[in-house]
Amino acid sequence: MNNLYLDFDGVLNTEEWFHRADFHSAIYENRSFSKEKLNFNDACVARVKKLQETFDLNLVICSNWRFGGVKPDHFKQIFKLFNWNVDRISMIDTK
């Protein structure tokens, strides 16, 4: 099985989102996952989703989001907002 190492910032979301004041509270504190708060670029999500599904890739999260307590199940919730059901998600362990 092959892996797709996925970062979020600059890959799925926009630079303007990263500079928003509510970035950390929406993701790390409140776990408030909505399309509006995430502000992912739909075209970018569609491209990564197509890659993952076409080649049946495992997703390995290497985004800094993993440091804020966001767990694989949270990522599954996020992807479901975009009609993307991912069964195999893991995260890089930096310990």
pLDDT tens, residue by residue, 19-48: 665 655 656 555 667 777 677 888 889 999
Q: What is the 3-state secondary structure (H, E, C) of 2-36?
A: CEEEECCCCCCECHHHHCCCCHHHHHHHCCCCCHH
Cα–Cα distance for residue pair 32/65, rounded to 1 Å: 14
pLDDT tens, residue by residue, 40-66: 888 889 999 999 999 999 999 888 777
